[in-house]
Amino acid sequence: MNKLFKMRYLILRRITQIGLLFLYFAGNAYGWNVLKGTLSASLLFDKIPLADPFAVLQMLSAGAMMGINVFIGAAIITLFYGIIGGRAFCSWVCPVNMVTDLANWMRRVLLLDKTERKVWVSRNARYWVLGLSLIISALTGLAAFELVSPITIFNRGIIFGMGMGGGVLLAIFLFDLFGVKNGWCGHICPLGGFYSLIGRFSLIRVRHNQPNCTLCMKCKDVCPETEVLFMIGKESTTVNMGECVNCARCIEVCDDDALGFSIRDFTTRKAKGEKQ
Ligand code: SF4
Ligand code: SF4
């Protein structure tokens, strides 16, 4: 099969991620009015407000006063990912995903997964960090995660210049490469956890067609959230867990046409905690 076709979603995701960063940069540098602001709060075509709902929640916890446009912007994003995209923000929009995907790829090339010393960090840690961010925001009166968020650092770095923020991104890269597999995005990032929660019942899902599966497990090798693929080789159903980032890497690496995009299957079990 054509190599480019096997990377079609990966190429589309990179075009989207880099394209969005460029539009934010152009909004500041050249005054383009397609996207102005940052991923935390922006204006589309100078008219439609968009806001990161987790950042808005932190600001609410911190007691900040915000205009109605911020709430409308947060509602638009919440509805989009909640009904349609699931956790797609993480693989199609977030710039940090390019850093962590690179680390994951290098782990596979350097065979680090095979020789890895087990460093245990629960995948649920991100939900604790999420809660802690809101508590610290309430206690300090500051949007806590926003102050240290590598997503904001990357986004602002492209628009206004990277400076010391590059060190944070390098630390995440090294942590994912030599420390914990998919350590930042799959274990710690509270924004990823937040989108896992609001995207839990979204419609666009990967579907597994069990009769076609040859149990090669290539999908599980590349999946950043392996546990969401618990049904591989066992049953035909959609990947319903909110932690799936809809990156489509599993679809691309499958040579047996056993995975593809589909609409959520509401007739089967919900998934998490209901593994066979
Ligand atoms: S988990 Fe966090 S850093 Fe990773 S892609 Fe999602 S929002 Fe970005
Ligand atoms: S199941 Fe597929 S689409 Fe979902 S995170 Fe894993 S590789 Fe990406």
pLDDT digits (tens, 9 = 90+) for 22-45: 999 999 999 999 999 999 999 999
Mutate which of 207, 239, 252, 264 for ligand 2 pocket (most atoms within 8 A of beta carbon): 239
Model pTM? 0.93
Q: For residue 224, how far is its CA from the centre of ligand 1 (angstroms)?
A: 11
**What's the Cα-to-Cα distance from 12 to each of 127, 178, 248, rounded to whole Å?**
29, 28, 11
73-98 per-position pLDDT tens digit: 999 999 999 999 999 999 999 999 99
Q: Is 41 left (phi over 0), alpha (psi -120 to 50) or beta?
A: beta
* 271 pLDDT higher than 70: no
CA distance 21 to 94: 9
Closest alpha carbon to 246 in 98, 82, 88: 88
Question: Which residue has the least CA distance to atom 4 on ligand 1?
Answer: 185
What is the distance in A from the centroid of ligand 2 to the CA of 101?
Answer: 12
Q: How far is CA 125 from CA 128, 186, 189, 228, in A?
A: 5, 9, 9, 17
Give the per-residue pLDDT at 273: 42
**pLDDT value of position 1:** 58
Q: Closest residue (by CA) to atom 2 of ligand 2?
A: 250
- Listed by start position, the domains of the chain span 5-197, 205-263
Residue 142 has pLDDT above 80, yes or no: yes
Q: If DSSP codes are grouped into helix, strand and coil, which group holds residue 58?
A: helix
Does the domain formed by 205-263 have CATH 3.90.320?
no
Q: Is the dihedral of CA 243, 199, 100, 152 positive or negative?
A: negative
Residue 97: Cβ within 10 Å count: 25
Pocket test residue of 20, 39, 123, 191 for ligand 1, highest count of atoms within 8 A of CB: 191
CA 51 / ligand 1 centre spacing (Å): 16
Return the structure tokens found at 117: 């010393």
3-state helix, strand, coil in the chain (%, to 5): 55, 10, 35
Reduced to 3 states, what is the DSSP secondary structure of residue 35? strand
Give the integer Cα–Cα distance in Å for 19 and 13.
Answer: 10
Q: What is the pLDDT of residues 194-219, one digit of tens each?
A: 999 999 999 999 999 999 999 999 99
Ligand 1 shell residues, CB under 6 Å = 90, 94, 96-97, 100, 151, 185, 189, 191-192
Q: Looking at the CA of residue 243, tell me the nearest atom of ligand 2.
A: 5
